[in-house]
Amino acid sequence: MHGRRLSTLEEVIVLAAPDSDSMVDRVTSWTNTHDISVTTLDVGTSVTDEHVDRTKTTMGVTVGGDGTFLEGARAFAPHQIPLLGINSGTLAFLARVNQTDVEDALSEVFRGRASVNARQQYEVVSDDINTTGINEVFLRKHPPEERYGTKVGSLHVFVDDEYVGQYFGSGLIISTPTGSTGRAYSNHGPVHYPQDNRTLQIVPHETISAAVDPIVVSCDSDIRVVLDDDFDIDIDGGRQFQRLEAGTVVKVTGADQPAQAVRTSYDDPFITALVDKLDWGLRTVDEDGPRSSLTDIGADKPTDFRVRAAQVAKEAAESAGEPLRELHGQVENIEYKTDKSDIVTEADYQANDIIRTAINSEFPNHMVQSEENDDVKPADGYVWLIDPLDGTGNFAHGNPNYSVSIALLEDGVPIVGVVYAPETDEMFHAVAGGGAYLNGNQIETTTRDRLDESMLLSGYDPDGGFLQAFYQETQGVRRLGSAALHLAYVAAGSADAVWEYDTLPWDVAAGLCLLREVGGRATDQHGTEYELLLEADGTTRTPLLASNGLLHDQLIEELETADI
């Protein structure tokens, strides 16, 4: 569940705070447009099985502030329904979709590009209390009946039957990582990054002892608090509040069922929320705005725009990969060629539509060109060049060596490249000036400079000339059947060079971006630098020789000798 993608959406249940009718109307209008059923409930209403259609993929939506989100977490978690929070208030760390981005965020969920992240909950039991929460349990000394009575109380804390000690002060806070930014932070507790964090923390509130520090424990720990005085218990900021008498034992541990938070690219990031709302001084601001990503710190790094474009391309490739994997499994079980052809065609168009929709949504002013639409042509400015299914022959035969290729060109030059292999979940990406990566780890070419130590890849080799020329001279020649994967593997050091007898721009644009970022070399068979021919009509022969650079001259020499 943790970090999975929310791939479909068929039903929405809205929990709405008072005075949020206009925002609820916008959500309802969006669901009607997308033929999604919607149920609207007032915040505080219990979500029951009558509200949930188990045959549909359901998402909860809260409209309000963090208080409404907390109530939504309590209501939806027992049903394992993921929750998206729309912030109609001011300070919010949980409901992080702004009002201006509501329709865009919902559309991102609908396209299968949102993710679901687990948030640790707690379970609290005491007297007649038996409930769960997502933020904190706050035990505060009950106010004295007389004006001059003591406001300080005493309580004892045990963790897994080990005695921690006696706390003197106004109270005690037991919080989840999500609750670490509220009362716990105000009482000098640490801020925890909440995503997939399985801890609880014990923070003294207005303690009279300077030697008492917060404690972080496992969510599986059994925390018991024994009260020496009367205390008030406040669960998740007033969701439940009552007085507990001296001698009461309060038991707190991690809940078995986490809350599931839906996250989109329109959410304010957690650290950004801290910086903006708590005025942290950790980030510098210059004339170009705040520096907020790893890739734009330092000189000669790519701009935020390119980084954002790469992220969109990766998400689009992953989303397209889901139906490709599903249909690939069907191809493997079909005997008749005509049926296989229908499925391959469906796979092509499904993946193409997903990628186009994602890019058009994020960059409506960019041109999107695709093999499937046969509209590849030269254009100035920003142009996306996509091949939704590179390796169609492999796909049709149930072979796993196929890929999704997405490139962003600026005035004809690739500046972002993404190659995704759905069956192996290998995500290659590169940003001009920012390096190339495989599943987040930086890649580089091999350093081999001898043909007899190298392994080569070959694309279409009509007369077998390349195989004959190099098979005995090297450690072998392999053919995977996907030009995009060939270039990605050379860039990542899984092969030393690749020869493609003929290429088309959508085959190689993303791979060229990868190769150039790792210092590889790409030419034709004579050593002339390779250029994308965007006027290619599917019949123009454009040879490509790509390598780690060190072997390149030797390869050209052998090609000329073999008259290839």
Say if residue 213 carries a ligand binding annotation.
Answer: no
What the block records as the tokens of 315 is 């998400």
Catalytic residue among 25, 66, 268, 537: 66
State the Cα–Cα distance between residues 484 and 510, nearest whole angstrom: 7
User: Quick check: 323 and 351 in contact, CB under 8 A?
Assistant: yes
- Strands (E) located in 69-142: 83-87, 97-98, 114-119, 122-126, 129-133, 136-141
Say if residue 440 carries a ligand binding annotation.
Answer: no
Name the one residue in this structure whose structure tokens are 């930014």: 181
Say if residue 135 carries a ligand binding annotation.
Answer: yes
DSSP symbol at 137: E
Say if residue 67 carries a ligand binding annotation.
Answer: yes
State the Cα–Cα distance between residues 365 and 367, nearest whole angstrom: 7
Say if residue 353 carries a ligand binding annotation.
Answer: no
Say if residue 136 carries a ligand binding annotation.
Answer: yes
C-alpha 536 chain-centroid distance: 35
CA angle 495-501-506, nearest 5°?
80
Cβ-proximal residues to 231 (8 Å cutoff; 6+ apart), any chain: 139, 140, 141, 142, 153, 155, 171, 243, 244, 248
Say if residue 390 carries a ligand binding annotation.
Answer: yes
The CB density around residue 535, as the number of other CB atoms within 10 Å, is: 10
Say if residue 417 carries a ligand binding annotation.
Answer: no
Q: What are phi and psi of 528, to 5 degrees?
A: -80, 135
Cβ-proximal residues to 15 (8 Å cutoff; 6+ apart), any chain: 41, 42, 43, 45, 47, 60, 61, 62, 63, 64, 68, 71, 72, 75
User: Quick check: 324 and 402 in contact, CB under 8 A?
Assistant: yes
The CB density around residue 405, as the number of other CB atoms within 10 Å, is: 32
Known catalytic residue at 66: yes
Say if residue 50 carries a ligand binding annotation.
Answer: no
Type and span of the H or E element at 558: helix 552-561
Looking at residue 330, its amino acid is Q
Say if residue 49 carries a ligand binding annotation.
Answer: no
Closest by CA to 428, choosing from 405, 456, 402, 399, is 405
What the block records as the tokens of 479 is 């053919």
Catalytically active residues, by annotation: 66
Binding residues for Mg(2+): 371, 387, 389-390, 507
Binding residues for NAD(+): 66-67, 135-136, 151
Binding residues: 66-67, 135-136, 151, 371, 387, 389-390, 507
